[in-house]
Structure 1
């Protein structure tokens, strides 16, 4: 808390203590890092057609540019948090920010699709080291009386990142700075990252958890292998003619993931530090909420890629035109998210989330009809009503879903539940991007390497592919609506939360878990 310095005879304004100033400068560094991650997660979609043209990238490469980041980020989130608990959050934050900045530079100078994909995977992995430290450092740096204000600022940055990402990407791509086309969307991170590292070294305070859980490297490796065995053939299979090895790999993926589950149970009994706390899934509301989050991630990942490609490759719009068309979606999402948490959910409970799923479904069906009816003549103003519906529906879901899903989780596990829940959403996005091979690119045909007149000739097929993918998206929203019935009508009081059966020996909550428990309280768009 700020303190008052005794004033000189001619001084009338008290000065804040140096420690208080350090805290707020440190907060600015942390919020900047969060903004960088949020923007980089959304900025790439709008630049995908430019990347395709410049690098000669095929459809599968485009999928990996976006899915590689999401998958690496998801798989590293929990491990990144634990490394911060063990070795120091400031140290891991600076390491992650340095790696993120380096990876951004590699993305910006990528000479081909392979190098760009590798740099994006590295960028996601570094984000997984950096991002988990943010809320934990805030928690240990600010007294309880100031955290409400701090989390409010954090929420504002999250909302700003969601709105600004596509617009920044559109402006940088359309501006073609120095003839670099899409590359400035990554290179802009260099000065920001370097400044963040320098300020972070000076103003961040080091902290560790008193009882940190161990790192589960074997569990992480098993989860990575199991998911790659599903995602790689799903993404590459169409361009390779769906070879037999792809089907074998996808069929074997559940077996590897089942072995992962068995190993996690053994790990929990042995030292109480599994990658995933499986006992949480015995809580019905958490299991249902994780199902909603996974499906919602699939729907979101598929929709945002399809929407961008429809506007630019199907309708022939430029990046800025496409980015501005997304403004109604972003504004509706932000407004609905704020209203749902502050006014609607306390009064109507679960029904608000179900209304969100139905509103999104109406928007998807309206978009589907418009795409089929107007074809390549569809205009921005005609698309706006569908975007308003989809944005408002998404806002009604994403803001309160975490609170609803972990409402019956014991307080000592709220941090673990929050970490798993966030990871589930990122995995869903990676799966949705992989699924676009079947739901979208399979209808377009070809490999995506055609340009100029040949690419223009494919425009009607992009419209057909969009309508096909929107049926998949609509089906996912129907599934989400059904899963929401498994959540409680109202979130129970924290004091009434029962213990998880058979989990009496779980470790006590660490500083990180306390910080992550705070994370879902602002109920922000992730």
Structure 2
């Protein structure tokens, strides 16, 4: 009689560790998707939110821009905090903060309460996002790491795609008076579930032995400077001329910006880590890519806001119909993003140039069509949104890859963090500028939403045009560099592209 074969303990342990890694990835992906979903899902709820809370144009701008600003400012210091402390603990704190602020936003009785809740929510998102990248870096190596980051990229695309649809469904379910609250409340059960499983499935990590500098003074100076830039753009009564706004605050913001740069140099001379890595600003590829991403997000983020206001308030579309109208953009972006990852090594910066031209063409087409459309407007705009979306998918991921390609691997983490920060701050400022113009045009044309949308789209196209200038400039630089190669001081790391 033969004995039953015994299993290999080592192999069993490795299989258990493999399953644990992918389960942990599922947990952090769920949290990352929640923060990204909250960007697009809120857009379709804004018109009903305005009615439900009697919110004015300024409130709407703060609700959107405040989230993006807090998110961007928190990214770099919270990434370092995760490195210095238990990443699992920092992650769970971020999820708890995001969940509680979502509940507060859903229960908000006044516009200023929801504005504050959105800032806290953005800060929570800024805590979560760098931990997602950090867990992937810590849990996976080689091909598994590339696969994990690909899943992360797909999650971003999927979250963006289903956001408007889910938002529209929730608004339809809850009605005009309660539907916008469901858009925030939906985060609460998701957040609670993530917290419950995170402690069990996420690995504990020991605090870093080296002391991490969070640069609190730099963070404060940077945040206050950006808020002072936003304030005159956002604060203004209906019908109030733009000239009456407190533009003098821009001078104060410029002074604080200079103080920020001087502080960063002083902080660095003391041997501390600064909020921005000044050495990265000496790398041409990084400067061009950072500038491209900032202006692209300044234009890109506001497209859906002004389109939603035009459709729901101007044409009386339901939230679900508005969400369906912009879905082709998200679908196109998801498809082309998958393709661009395979083409970036062959086409390089040409991908961004082609993508930005396609986005501009799609937006110009929308601008030309809107004044002449009647009946089934969403269906007629779908091809233009699809064209713009296909272009958008060629911009973001290739830009991160190419921007970090010439960066010393030692600085890849801070480089990725700075890129995300610039994108979020660009989003906040772009939303403030474009929505201010949209509402000003609405007042001057006595409620002509088509004309207001056209004017806002032209500003959006201008932002994307500036991004295109940086893309072409970097393309020409790289072409000249190929013809006259210079010695490389540091070999590019094949993985920094995933740091962001």
- Scaled by the length of structure 1, what TM-score is found? 0.86
CA deviation profile, 1:311-354 (whole Å, cap 9, x unmatched): 111222111111111221111111111112213x3332222211
The alignment yields a C-alpha RMSD, in angstroms, of: 2.7
Could you say if the C-alpha distance between residues 237 and 177 of structure 1 is closer, same or farther in structure 2, counting changes exceeding 3 Å?
closer
Distance 1:516 1:102, change over 3 A: farther
Q: For 1:7 and 1:261, locate their aligned partners in 2 and report how far apart those are by CA, in whole Å.
A: 67
Q: Distance in 2 between matches of 1:164 and 1:7?
A: 49
| Residue 400 of structure 1, aligned match among 398, 416, 431 | 398
Query: 1:337/1:142 Cα in 2 relative to 1: closer, same or farther (>3 Å)?
Result: closer
Q: How many Å separate the matches in 1 of 2:137 and 2:104?
A: 33
* TM-aligned CA distance change 1:230 to 1:278, over 3 Å: same
CA offset at residue 238 of structure 1? 5.1
The DSSP-based 3-state class of the residue aligned with 2:214 is coil
Q: Deviations over 1:157-181 (max 9, x none)?
A: 1221111111111111112179622
Tell me the alpha carbon deviations over residues 467-487 of structure 1, each in whole angstroms, 9 at most, x when there is no partner. Answer: 111111222222221111232
The Cα offsets for residues 136-168 of structure 1, whole Å up to 9 and x where unpaired, read as: 122222344532332232222122111111111
Q: Distance in 2 between matches of 1:443 and 1:179?
A: 27
Provide the rounded CA distance (Å) in 2 between the counterparts of 1:178 and 1:363.
31
Could you say which residue in structure 1 is the equivalent of 2:498? 518
CA contact (8 A) 1:60 1:236 kept: yes
Query: Which stretch of the first structure deviates more once superposed, 52-61 or 320-329?
Result: 320-329
CA distance in 2, matches of 1:77, 1:21: 29
The CA deviation string for residues 61-115 of structure 1, in whole angstroms up to 9 with x for no partner, is 0111111110000011101111111122111001011111111110111111111
**What is the TM-score of this pair, normalised by structure 2?**
0.91
SS of the aligned residue for 1:176 comes to: helix
**How far off is 1:250 after superposition?**
1.6
Q: Match of 2:458? A: 471
Cα 1:415–1:107, aligned 2, differ >3 Å: closer, same or farther? same
Paired position in structure 1 for 2:71: 73
What residue number does 1:106 align with? 104
Kept in 1: contact 2:409–2:496 (CA 8 A): no
Q: What is the aligned counterpart of 1:444 among 418, 425, 442?
A: 442
Q: Please, which runs of 5 or more residues in structure 1 have no aligned partner? A: 1-5, 447-456, 501-512, 521-526
- Out of 147-156 and 313-322, give the one that drifted further: 147-156
Specify the SS of the correspondent of 1:334: helix
Q: 1:467 to 1:245 in 2, by over 3 A?
A: closer
Contact 1:69 1:123 in 2 (8 A): yes
Q: Does 1:279 align with 2:279?
A: yes
CA distance in 1, matches of 2:178, 2:328: 29
How many Å apart are 1:499 and its aligned residue? 5.5
Q: Residue 162 of structure 2 is aligned with which of 161, 164, 186?
A: 164
Tell me, what secondary structure is at the counterpart of 1:247? Answer: coil
For 1:352-431, list aligned pairs within 5 A.
352-374=351-373, 377=375, 379-431=377-429
2:268 counterpart SS class: helix
Task: State the alpha-carbon separation in 2 of the partners of residues 26 and 496 from structure 1.
Answer: 42
Q: Does 1:349 align with 2:329?
A: no
What 5-or-longer segments of structure 2 have no aligned partner?
none
